[in-house]
A and B are shown apart, each in its own frame.
Chain A
Amino acid sequence: EVQLVESGGGLVQPGRSLRLSCTTSGFTFGDYPMSWVRQAPGKGLEWVGFIRSKTYGGTTEYAASVKGRFTISRDDSKTIAYLQMNSLKTEDTAVYYCSRTPKVERFLEYFYAMDVWGQGTTVTVSS
């Protein structure tokens, strides 16, 4: 069974740092890109960032709202994806989800889609 489990959330003061982990099982982690998505209380989904598989350089993409403050990384030997969050702001308060984001072939083109999600971990930024 494919599983993703986020951890590391909690209460943190503005300006501090926090690292989230997404521990996975049931699939060949190294073959898959991974994404982080967040949801502020009572709000919609916001894409945070993405990391490609090592086959494609393991490079990353970020939303403008977190670029320069957040860093996504991966440890394929441990099958874990990380979200390092620095200089946290109150507006970063949200449930953070990780998701498996394969590139799926369809009609001779390739499409990214978030096909498996974790249950989320809550981050609260408050003094």
Chain B
Amino acid sequence: DIQMTQSPSSLSASVGDRVTITCRASQSISTYLNWYQQKPGKAPNLLIYAASSLQSGVPSRFSGSGSGTDFTLTINSLQPEDFATYYCQQSYSMSFTFGPGTKVDIK
């Protein structure tokens, strides 16, 4: 199976900050990489698919980049509603796998 790692595992940031989360795959996955946001007690929400395509309805302050093994999720001008846990997920292999998550909390 393809293993996914994320860094950092958690971070503290302030409203208005720019936040970058990194995801790495154990082998090349081209751009078969999705990003999800999950708030406590809620289901995940798709933010980015195909590494850089913004899901409909998601604010434009979210962006994704990368290909191969290294990917980033960037949140420009962090908003109060963005404090959550973020997961990457690969769909290159039909054994989909998620990263361990990055928790973004308030500094």
Contacts and interface: CB of A to CB of B under 8 A. Distances in A.
Partners in one complex: yes
Interface of A: 35, 37, 44-47, 50, 61, 63-64, 97, 104, 106-107, 109, 111-115, 117-120
Contacts of A44: 85, 87, 98-101
Contact of A113 (B42, B49, B85): B49
A110 to B, nearest CB: 9
B95 A64 contact: yes
Contacts, number: 71
Task: Name the residue in A45, A97, A107, A114 with the highest tally of chain B Cβ atoms < 10 Å from its Cβ.
Answer: A45
Nearest to A52: B94
A23 to B, nearest CB: 15
Contacts of A111: 31-32, 34, 49-50, 91
A120 to B, nearest CB: 6
B89 A47 contact: yes
A119 B43 contact: yes
Interface in B42-61: 42-46, 49-50, 53, 55
